[in-house]
Amino acid sequence: MNTSSKADLPPPAPRTYDPDVLAKEIIERLTYRIGKDAKVAKPHDWLTATILVIRDRIIDKWMESTRKTYETSAKRVYYLSLEFLIGRLLRDAISNLGLMNEIRDALSSLGVDLIDIAGLEPDAALGNGGLGRLAACFMESMATVDIPAYGYGIRYMHGLFRQEMAEGWQVELPETWLAHGNPWEFERRESSYEVGFGGSVETLGGYDEAPRFVWKPAERVIATAYDTPVVGWRANRVNTLRLWTARPIDPILLDAFNAGDHIGALRESNKAEALARVLYPADATPAGQELRLRQEFFFSSASLQDILRRHMQQYNDLRLLPDKVSIQLNDTHPAVSIAELIRLLCDIHGLDFDTAWDITRRTFSYTNHTLLPEALESWPVPLFERLLPRHMQIVYAINAKILIEARKERGLSDDEIRKISLIEESGERRVRMGNLAFVGSHSTNGVSALHTDLMKETVFADLHKLYPDRINNKTNGITPRRWLMQCNPRLTALLRETIGDAFMDNAEALQALDRYADDPQFQGHFSQVKRDNKVRLANLVAQRMGIRIDPSAIFDIQIKRIHEYKRQLLNIIEAVALYDQIRSHPERDWVPRVKLFAGKAAPSYHNAKLIIKLANDVARVINNDPAVRGLLKVVFIPNYNVSLAEIMVPAADLSEQISTAGMEASGTGNMKFALNGALTIGTLDGANVEMRDWVGEENMVIFGMTAEQVAEARAGEYNPRAIIEGSSELSQALSAIASGVFSPDDRNRFESLVEGLYSHDWFMVAADFDAYAKAQRDVDALWLDSAAWYSRTIRNTARMGWFSSDRAIRQYAKDIWRAG
């Protein structure tokens, strides 16, 4: 260490926001960092140069935040997530720094348009959907409410696939978001850790000593950190998103290479790099499954080693860990961290098991995101044991502790013991990651009030009985910076003019808008904003798909992962029924409607892919039938991602949140739409229930079965065939689909899909169809009374402030982390 050197000088003065200086710096970066003359620079070069200049301003705040955390000995929060669906960062960073006008002016003085280059930034799709987007909103909110936090995940080279359509079928292509480099990130070679797999465990120690365990992995890879700064609103704080990439210990096996085996020489390298190549490798094959477990352990181990290193450097006392560190597990994907922390504490740092267990439980907390049985993670014991032999021992040790306690102190029955065990014993033995996460944490939270209640009654019923204080609710939220201020600048400007700026720092101040809901002049402005946003979307649809849609029609939007429980199928069948009606009753005054869809299906999810094809087939027929006279259009926009959502959400009149009640844990898409002044048509599911409480039932269109009714129907004798036969609208629509009206090239294409509805209809499409169709006609009637329509939609915007992720994060900080 230098005892006295220039390193001790105060840090450089923060950089200025003066547009002239910004312009000069952009040219400087273009010249010396990118090596391009302004005269020949391509738009991508301007983008990179601009990001580099903004990044310097972020670095000033970043270092300030880090120093503050260190000096105040504040507790650090670590958010472990296999997904971060962050989208583009440029506009977010500029806006949160308060640099928008300055950068726009600086660029325009150089003849460059900010909007043009911002649109070139790739959309970092390091997530599947809601869970990953939640992690991104939470990162931004933690910086905003000034919580020292790190996000930990994997720097997938290809992220989730890019979706294209080939004759209406989904085709998956690799996403190449790193093709032009990534100027936001900093590679931290010095933050590298070894992560092991396989091998064996040696037991050391004499007969009168406690045994010590040493894991001797058969394989090792290096995890190297890449840091991306996360800027909070008004740059109050800048936190770090630390993503790991995998490297081989030996990049090339020189002996093999020199012996002429050029491919074999790279085997280690390829194997290591496969770890961080794609998100969610198709898990249909055993090899794919193993890769997924490897990814989970890889990022868990690297993160835990990093967390302990940072803690020891500052406090040098592992017993202080629960006071200085909170680790939040975003679903069970990082749950193996619990066993890894115990291993590090016992095997590397020499603590005894009971002390390590106590520290671990007080440090971790877990968020559950799903009750779907097929989505509850578990790993075959033989696989787990082969890949992580020491962790398998630790899981058994935890299990013994928990089960003995449950039996001796609580007197649980065999049946109850079976349900709380970390090992599934029926059929193939498996490690239950949900149970591991639950028992290894001091808090298990659901993501909406309904989901939390259902958790207590279903997946965790027995664990809840054993630990009645552990389950708590933290309803999800969305960041109003991205999902209002940035994606909807027109509405933001109107809100500022009308109610002032308070809502920009506290979303609940949007309440002040309530008294303008019936004001005809304000309604006029509000509807004009909506219309402008619809024109923007119509232009995108025209450009990208060559389909013309009319901005004066109702824009009815359903965008989310394609899944049977989310019931895109219900929406499509209703479109078919409406199509029938329009043709049969041309004399009626039909309200023009555009039904827009977007979303990706998991590559191995057959029915979801078939639903995409159905949407496209139905769209082709309806959009080209002159008898429809343009009263109904159906559009499926490919490659749903954050950037597409940012254009579609502000343009929606109607938000489709129609999942089978009890199956959507929370939803966050529902919140984005309502905040931007769309009317929700939805079931009483997930956070829709609480939205109804805040927004008012009269300002939503709620229909269909409740979660309780769904559970009853499933347990009883639900007979979808009888329901279908009793509804002429539904049976006609289904027979059109099944008989090939929309698929003349392959008349049987959708037969199995329709047959599924007749035979079991697990997702209650038939049961809810009539109520849904009626609710849609109620929407039409409301649309025709435009004062009533805008009164309701304005009240949605006014009353959605509670759903800010700032509120959610404050609740986590107070109740779970005791931080900030």
- Give me the residues that bind ligand PLP (CB under 6 A), please: 85, 129-130, 133, 560-561, 641-642, 645, 667-669, 672
User: Amino acid letter at 226?
Assistant: Y
Contact 341, 304 (CB under 8 A): yes
Instruction: Return the closest-CA partner of residue 378 out of 333, 321, 324.
Output: 333
Tell me whether residue 650 or residue 669 sits nearer to ligand PLP (CB atom).
669
Whole-angstrom distance, CA of residue 669 vs CA of residue 672: 5
Pairing type for strands 84-87 and 124-126 reads antiparallel
In the block, tokens 């009640």 appear at: 661
CA 485 to chain centre: 20
Residue 561 is a catalytic residue: yes
| Active-site residue, selected from the candidate residues 237, 470, 474, 672 | 672
| Active-site residue, selected from the candidate residues 391, 451, 560, 563 | 560
User: What token pair was written down for 207?
Assistant: 């007969």
Tell me whether residue 85 or residue 702 sits nearer to ligand PLP (CB atom).
85
Contact 280, 254 (CB under 8 A): no
Q: Which helix (H) or strand (E) holds 213?
A: strand 212-216
DSSP state, residue 813 = I
Tell me whether residue 84 or residue 150 sits nearer to ligand PLP (CB atom).
84
Instruction: Return the closest-CA partner of residue 390 out of 263, 217, 611.
Output: 217
Other beta carbons less than 10 A from residue 400's beta carbon = 11
CB of 560 to ligand PLP, least distance (A): 4
φ/ψ (deg, to 5) at 378: -150, 150
User: What token pair was written down for 412?
Assistant: 């649980």
What residues contact residue 450 under an 8 Å CB cut-off, 6+ apart?
Answer: 662, 684, 685, 686, 689, 707
CB of 789 to ligand PLP, least distance (A): 23
| Active-site residue, selected from the candidate residues 91, 451, 464, 566 | 566
Residue 560 is a catalytic residue: yes
Residue 369 is a catalytic residue: yes
CB of 163 to ligand PLP, least distance (A): 12
Q: Which helix (H) or strand (E) holds 322?
A: helix 321-324
| Active-site residue, selected from the candidate residues 55, 162, 242, 369 | 369
CB of 510 to ligand PLP, least distance (A): 19
Please report, for residues 201, 347, 389, 390, the alpha-carbon distance to residue 385 in angstroms, rounded to integers and kept in the order given. 11, 18, 5, 8
CB of 804 to ligand PLP, least distance (A): 14
Tell me whether residue 78 or residue 673 sits nearer to ligand PLP (CB atom).
673
Contact 97, 51 (CB under 8 A): no
Tell me whether residue 336 or residue 485 sits nearer to ligand PLP (CB atom).
485
Residue nearest to ligand PLP (CB): 669
Tell me whether residue 195 or residue 645 sits nearer to ligand PLP (CB atom).
645
Tell me whether residue 141 or residue 641 sits nearer to ligand PLP (CB atom).
641
Instruction: Return the closest-CA partner of residue 324 out of 75, 570, 156.
Output: 75
Residue 668 is a catalytic residue: yes
| Active-site residue, selected from the candidate residues 561, 567, 595, 609 | 561
How much of the chain is helix, strand and coil, in % rounded to 5?
55, 15, 30
What residues contact residue 428 under an 8 Å CB cut-off, 6+ apart?
Answer: 380, 381
CB of 541 to ligand PLP, least distance (A): 18
CB of 700 to ligand PLP, least distance (A): 15
Whole-angstrom distance, CA of residue 390 vs CA of residue 459: 27
CB of 476 to ligand PLP, least distance (A): 8
Tell me whether residue 434 or residue 669 sits nearer to ligand PLP (CB atom).
669
HEC string of 632-670 equals EEEEECCCCCHHHHHHHHHHCCEEEECCCCCCCCCCCHH
CB of 546 to ligand PLP, least distance (A): 24
Tell me whether residue 129 or residue 446 sits nearer to ligand PLP (CB atom).
129
Instruction: Return the closest-CA partner of residue 112 out of 49, 53, 56.
Output: 49
**Enzyme catalytic residues:** 369, 560-561, 566, 668, 672
